[in-house]
Amino acid sequence: MSHFSLKSLFGAVFLFFAFSFGLKAQDGAKLFKQNCAVCHALTDQKLTGPGLAGVFDRAPKGDWLKNWILNNEKLIKSGDAYANKIYNDNGKAAMTVFEGQLTDKDVDAILAYVKNPPPPPGATAGAAATGPATEKEEVKGGIDPLYLLLGAIVIIAIIIGALRSVRHSLQNSYNRKEGKAESEEISFSQEVKQWMGGHRRLVGVFILIIGFAGMKSCWNACYDLGVYYDWETQKGYQPPQPIKFSHKLHAGDNEIACQYCHNSVEKSKHAGIPSVNICMNCHKGIQKGPQYGEKEIAKIYEASGFNPKTGVYDGPQNPIKWIKIHNLPDHVYFNHKQHVVVGKQDCANCHGKVKEMEVVQQQSPLTMKWCIECHRKTEVAMEGNAYYDKMHKALKEKYKGQYDVKFTVDKIGGLECAKCHY
């Protein structure tokens, strides 16, 4: 019995440590992809920073690696010999200071992952995913409503003409029977004028109803007005790009943050299109992709003038002509910084699940109606937001003890025309 208990105890301890290490390695893989993989490879290949193969043999023992990751600047300024050697050997390129962003446990998880990296994927690992069609198939079916309306008008006109003719014939038959002179047939327009002259109040009411209905239909047309009059740029727009770039692979599988490539999204009105230099931060070392091999990455090298054989930028540079997908009319003002930083909105709220898209497409209609409905249901992110601290304090004092209010964007001027239209 005691032997069984001891065996069970050892088994439980083993499972605990194995499970803990598994979680740590898993967390380390995620943290490494998010913070380190952009500049460092797990092999000896140099990207923006040196390769990490054998780093535990090269670096000083103890907590040196942890201290370097958390605050390399502090270590360099302290006069540490190896820290200054790395700094000088890599052209004095500044490494990100992760102190405040990563905890000690985070760094331990990253180092555990680097110490036991996953095996390189085989040539047959994962069949190349077939991306969605880059050219939309235009499905045409049914009849245009305008043609139906015109057809209905023609049919009604024919029926009215026939009925008028029958009525005139019956009237003359009656006149002949009564010995009266036959009446001359008047035109339809003259008959309408005579009717309107005898029913002025009713005509006035009709004019008011038609006027209001016209204004309402005009408003509805503006409310649902999309990006442009070209319906191709509406929801579902998915133009073929000059380079086949998989957001699913980069943002989804590799967990590269949107802000790394679209680095002005938190600083300006525009999210920005990534420059070729951002692509080269990784692809200076990664020359073959899991889906398209070397073909698409070669286009990046051509654009940057990079020679992968010599590792030198010795060729002419050519801009990559990316096709913009999410467009707004010129008279519409939209500020990414205001929504992402102040409003604390996630990119997916407007752009959809980009992390699952091989080829990005417009998921939301981006109409005025869609924006207004979002402003009506989205609560203002006031707590802990310095932009709204003063307003939040005033509102809490004003409505203290009365009732709980959900302060959505429309309640702070989110529906004012001038907010979005110059």
CB 243 within 8 A of CB 311: no
Q: What pLDDT shows up at residue 403?
A: 65
Residue 54 CA: distances (Å) to CA of 30, 51, 84, 117? 21, 9, 19, 12
CB 26 within 8 A of CB 33: no
What letters, b where the CB count within 10 A reaches 16 and e where it falls short, cover 284-309?
bbeeebebbeeebbbbbbbbbebeee
CB 394 within 8 A of CB 287: no
Tell me the pLDDT tens digit for each residue of 356-409: 999 999 988 888 888 999 999 998 888 777 777 787 778 778 777 776 667 889
Q: Among candidates 181, 182, 203, 206, which has minimal Cα distance to 194?
A: 203
Average pLDDT value for the chain: 80
How large is the average pLDDT for residues 162-173?
Answer: 84
Task: State yes or no: pLDDT of 421 exceeds 60.
Answer: yes
Tell me the pLDDT tens digit for each residue of 233-290: 477 888 889 999 999 999 999 999 999 999 899 999 999 888 999 999 999 889 999 9
Q: What pLDDT shows up at residue 231?
A: 41
Q: Return the percentage of the chain with pLDDT > 90, whole number.
A: 22
How large is the average pLDDT for residues 205-233?
Answer: 70
**Higher-confidence position of 7 and 275:** 275
| CA count, 13 A, side-chain hemisphere, 420 | 19
Q: Among candidates 365, 338, 341, 337, which has minimal Cα distance to 351?
A: 365
* Six token digits for residue 23: 């979680």
Task: State yes or no: pLDDT of 175 exceeds 90.
Answer: no
Cα–Cα distance measured from residue 203 to residue 222, given in angstroms and rounded to the nearest whole number: 29
Task: State yes or no: pLDDT of 67 exceeds 70.
Answer: yes
CB 140 within 8 A of CB 231: no
CB 70 within 8 A of CB 98: yes
Task: State yes or no: pLDDT of 41 exceeds 60.
Answer: yes
How large is the average pLDDT for residues 171-180?
Answer: 83
What letters, b where the CB count within 10 A reaches 16 and e where it falls short, cover 157-180?
eeeeeeeeeeeeeeebeeeeeeee
Tell me the pLDDT tens digit for each residue of 130-157: 333 333 344 444 566 778 888 888 898 8
Q: What pLDDT shows up at residue 35?
A: 80
Q: What pLDDT shows up at residue 208?
A: 93
Q: What is the DSSP string of 272-322?
A: -PPPHHHHHHHHTT---BTTTBTHHHHHHHHHHTEETTTTEE-S------P
Q: Where is average pLDDT lowest: 2-11, 94-103, 157-166, 304-313?
A: 2-11
Q: What pLDDT shows up at residue 297?
A: 94
Tell me the pLDDT tens digit for each residue of 320-355: 999 889 988 888 999 999 999 888 999 999 999 999
CB 68 within 8 A of CB 40: no
Q: Which among 70-74, 111-115, 350-354, 410-414 has the top mean pLDDT?
A: 350-354
**Higher-confidence position of 38 and 410:** 410
What residues pair up with 332 in beta bridges, in sequence order?
Answer: 421
Number of other residues whose CB lies within 10 A of the CB of residue 32: 21
